[in-house]
Structures are given as C-alpha cells and as structure tokens.
C-alpha cells in the first residue's frame, strides 16, 4: 500500500527550499511513500529541476495563496481558501492524501484542519502532541498549546489519544500515563487535575498517577498529560534553557586560545553530545483528535528536521493511529453505562 503525504510547501520560515528537498529525501528512504507537493507550482518546480528525483512518487498540486505566520486563524480560515495549507488539508478530506505536514502558522493549521476534517467521534477538543527525549528513551507530551483552558474530561481524552499515539508509533502496546501536577500526592493540584486523576484511575488506561515537571525528562511515564497552557510553557521553557546552556558551553570554549584548543580537541565528544540532544530529531507535532493525520513541523525546521515531521505522519498512517483512537475513545462512554 502506498502512503500518500501532502506537504504544505509554502509553510515555515524557508518554504520550498526546505520542504521540496525534504520530500525528495523522504521518498528515497521510503519506497512505499508518495509525497504531494502543495504550493506555487513554479517555485516548487524550480527546486525539483535542480535535484534528481523519482517523478512517479512526487506530484505537484498548485496553490496560489500563502498563509503568513502572523495571520489570525479565523482570518486565514475565511479568506485563504486557495492557500497551500488549506489545499493540503483538503487533499486528506477528498481521499487523495493519507496525511498532511505543514511548517506554517499553527493556529491556522489547527483551525483549517478542524473545519475541513472535523473531529473524531467522541473527541471534544483537538490536542497538540509531541515526543521529547528522556534519560532513557522518549516521552509523548500533550497538550502543547491547542487548549489554554481544559476540563477534566478533556485531559482524560488527551490521555487516550496520547496512549494511542505511543502504541501506534512503534512504542509499547500499553503505555504508562502520568498527569502533570505540582506534586505526586493526590491532594496536590487544582480541581481540574484532581478530577482528571479520578477519571484516569477509573479507566482501563495504564495510569501511573501524578508526575511533576522533573519527571518529563526522567521518562517516568510514556505519556504525560497536561492542559495546553502548562504544556506550551513547559516546552518553550525547555527550549529556552537548552539554548542558554548551549550558549554558555560555547562561550566557555571560546574564552581564550587555550579553551579554543581544548574545544577543538573535545569536539568529537561535544558533537556527539549535540547530536544526541538535537531537537530536530523530535520535530513534528501531531494534531490529534481530527478525522485525519496532520503533523505540524517547527517553522524554523531545516531539511533534516522536516524529514522527521514527514516520518511522524508516515508512521501514524502506517500504524493506524486514527483507527486506534476511534476504537479507544469509547472507553469513557462504556464506563458511564
């Protein structure tokens, strides 16, 4: 079976100069993949002409409009019906693509995906999920910013979706779930979190109880659930801290001639370290809860990073992530019977 992935070629900071080469590399390493390049045909073809590629597995769909990073989601939804992002999502709805990847405006991508594809039955709110590295492996964290206010039921549904994402990403079949809180004790947290904890305890999910911020990178559980405000802050705080530590380390090795020499000597070790913590390897956040697979790449992703976003979309299709969510989201309803 061929897996068809539509890519919004105009999205992100670099547009076609990143998206098109990433698509070419991707089909080279995935013999069962077909990528549909959506955007301004002329620009896409300019890049394609420069790189040898398998024409059978790369097609181009024209889109005249582009949604900017600054555009409001409602405005983008209403006025940009011929944008590369909108047409890429339409391809899923029309059955011409199995998934779509965009490095464009997150709010617009969420609004368009929700409007065009609709929600899966039983899911009240979509969530943004991403994998993060841990001491030993990786953790799936959600929501990372789609919902700034969540009910306990929303958090519960995020847990179901996160669990399905992990098990359909080649992870374990019965992923452990942690609820992000300010302490591990049951008495900790706000009312929403306490209520969500009760729902999770009563469910058939592999719920391990409350976890704290320190547990994210410890890899205490396979999935960490939180509302989008908290998740977004945790993710961006991590990004900021990693940048600062990287800058400090670089400054220390550039302090004087001796430290520069030591830096050159230690470069094999430092480079291996950098490779290990390279955030590009975790690029690709899943928009979960929709009737279609939509993956958001970081706006600043390069060709290497974009490849991981394509890989995420590919895996979700291949491992039947949507079917897994659909069959598992019944859990709360069965519980109520």
Minimal distance, residue 107 CB to its own copies, in Å: 9
Side-by-side strand order, sheet with 176-180: 58-62, 33-39, 3-8, 99-102, 293-296, 285-288, 127-133, 138-142, 223-225, 176-180, 206-211
Q: C-beta of 150: minimal distance to its own copies in Å?
A: 10
Cα 117 to chain centroid, rounded: 18
> Which CB sits closer to its own copies, 147 or 328?
147
Q: Give the separation between CA 184 and CA 182, rounded to whole angstroms.
A: 7
Q: 87 and 121 in contact (C-beta within 8 Å)? A: no
> What distances in angstroms separate CA 110 from CA 203, 226, 321, one per listed residue?
28, 18, 18
Give the nearest distance from C-beta 272 to its own copies in angstroms.
5
Closest approach, Cβ 24 to its own copies, in A, equals 32
Q: What residue ranges bind its own copies (CB under 8 A)?
A: 72, 133-135, 145, 148-149, 180, 182, 187-191, 212-218, 226, 228-230, 232-245, 247-249, 252-253, 255, 259, 262-263, 265-266, 268-270, 272-273, 276-277
CB of 15 to its own copies, least distance (A): 22
Pick 68 or 237: Cβ nearer its own copies: 237
Residue 204 or residue 261: which is nearer to its own copies going by CB?
261
Question: Residue 317 class from Cβ within 10 Å (0-12 exposed, 13-18 middle, 19+ buried)?
Answer: buried
Report the residue number, 99 or 103, with the smaller CB distance to its own copies.
103
To its own copies, the closest distance from the beta carbon of 281 in angstroms equals 13
Does 143 sit behind a cis peptide bond, omega within 30 degrees of 0 on the bond before it? yes
Residue 148 and residue 227 in contact, taking contact as beta carbons nearer than 8 Å: yes
For its own copies, the closer of residues 107 and 305 by Cβ is 107
Q: Smaller CB distance to its own copies: residue 98 or 215?
A: 215
């Amino acid at each position: 079976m061929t897996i068809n992935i539509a890519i919004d070629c105009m999205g992100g900071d670099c547009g076609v100069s990143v998206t098109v080469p990433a698509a070419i590399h991707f089909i080279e390493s995935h013999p069962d993949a077909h990528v549909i390049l959506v955007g301004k045909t002329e620009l896409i073809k300019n890049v394609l002409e420069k790189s040898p590629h398998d024409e059978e597995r790369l097609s181009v769909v024209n889109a005249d409009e582009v949604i900017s990073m600054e555009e409001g989601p409602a405005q983008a939804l209403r006025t940009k019906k011929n944008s590369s992002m909108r047409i890429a999502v339409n391809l899923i709805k029309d059955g011409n693509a199995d998934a779509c990847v965009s490095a464009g405006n997150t709010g617009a991508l969420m609004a368009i995906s929700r409007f065009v594809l609709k929600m899966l039955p039983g899911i009240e709110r979509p969530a943004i999920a991403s994998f993060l590295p841990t001491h030993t492996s990786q953790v799936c964290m959600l929501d990372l910013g789609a919902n700034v206010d969540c009910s306990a039921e929303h958090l519960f549904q995020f847990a179901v979706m996160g669990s399905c994402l992990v098990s359909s990403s080649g992870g374990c079949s019965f992923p452990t779930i942690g609820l992000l809180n300010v302490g591990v004790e049951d008495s900790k947290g706000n009312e929403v979190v306490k209520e969500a904890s009760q729902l999770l305890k009563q469910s058939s999910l592999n719920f391990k109880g409350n976890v704290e911020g320190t547990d994210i990178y410890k890899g205490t559980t396979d999935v960490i659930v939180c509302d989008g405000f908290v998740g977004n802050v945790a993710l961006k705080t991590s990004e900021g801290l990693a940048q600062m530590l990287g800058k400090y380390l670089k400054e220390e090795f550039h302090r004087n001639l001796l430290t520069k020499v030591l830096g050159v000597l230690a470069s094999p070790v430092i480079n291996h370290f950098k490779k290990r913590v390279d955030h590009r390897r975790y690029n690709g956040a899943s928009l979960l809860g929709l009737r279609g697979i939509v993956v958001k790449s970081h706006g600043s992703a390069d060709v290497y990073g974009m490849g991981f976003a394509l890989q995420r979309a590919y895996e979700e299709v291949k491992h039947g992530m949507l079917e897994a969510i659909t069959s598992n989201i019944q859990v709360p309803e069965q519980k109520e019977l």
